Structure 1
């Protein structure tokens, strides 16, 4: 499967697919963060046509659908230029979202996606890639196994997330 992966740059005609895949993948992985599993706050801030239109107007934001064969299986959101830690906007890339549907997890798509993002960072002459990961769960060991290191504590930025589920880490990979 890993060889058949494509990263499809988001265009308006693909918004519905991005919204559907992003919402489904987020709910599969992160419903437990929210009281009664109600992810509405996150979905309204991430996966609406209005949000996508605004993100598309931001020249630093790049959105992709992850496709294998003819099926969309995940999404990527990248901020090309972002000041983080001691790095200037020119030197850091931020991987804002990488969500893959549960049924496609464990098949190399996450690793291939990280390599894709790393190549973008190299193409833009970045010195580091940053991302955030929940402190609990499967994502953290995955990122650590791909040479990311924990550089700071952060938390989910929404007030209505369950308090003990808020802790996150900021991770960095030097290039």
Structure 2
């Protein structure tokens, strides 16, 4: 099925929707990282009204809700200017979050989301897009199939994540 996708810039009246979709999508994909599947540390640091108010005031942060014609299906968080891996902040964009509800995974929405992010990067004269992905799981293959290459090893920054699940890669796509 082909979906018409919209990327809606977050406004306060959509905070509850962003929190609901972000939390649900995160929990569908990442509970295995956390002891007893308790993702509350991540949720409290990512999906509260206080966090969104702070992020929305930051001119360097762009928050979007991904929507089909009739349903909200995911979220994006972009750091517009970031000094990273040999690039100064004017040269690199960082894709901080891309979470899509499980029932919409594998339907081309992730690819359309990456294309949207790339348009933003090009409009801001960026030389590269960076993101992080778990070393285990399907997301890594997805990013690599979309021209992202591994440039470094990192890890989940929360101390209470299961140790063997912490490894991540920093990936980059040159523009």
**Shorter-chain TM band:** over 0.9
**Deviation by residue 1:53-108 (Cα, 9 ceiling, x = unmatched):** 00011100000000011200000000000000110000000000000000011110
Aligned equivalent of 1:83? 83
**Deviation by residue 1:91-144 (Cα, 9 ceiling, x = unmatched):** 000000000000011110000000000000000000000000000001000000
Q: Which runs of 5+ in 1 are unaligned?
A: none
Aligned equivalent of 1:99? 99
Determine if contact 2:154/2:170 at 8 Å carries over to the other structure: yes
TM-score (ref. length: structure 1): 0.99
Aligned equivalent of 1:11? 11
Paired with 1:131 and 1:27, the residues of 2 have a C-alpha distance of 20
Alignment coverage as a number of residue pairs: 175
Distance apart, 1:25 and its partner CA: 0.2
Aligned equivalent of 2:170? 170
Report runs of 4+ in structure 1 exceeding 2 Å deviation.
Answer: none
CA RMSD of aligned residues (A): 0.7
Aligned equivalent of 2:145? 145
Q: Which runs of 5+ in 2 are unaligned?
A: none
SS of corresponding position for 2:6: strand
TM-score (ref. length: structure 2): 0.99
Distance apart, 1:166 and its partner CA: 0.1
Paired with 2:24 and 2:3, the residues of 1 have a C-alpha distance of 24
Aligned equivalent of 1:51? 51
Determine if contact 1:2/1:112 at 8 Å carries over to the other structure: no
Distance apart, 1:2 and its partner CA: 4.4
Aligned equivalent of 2:38? 38
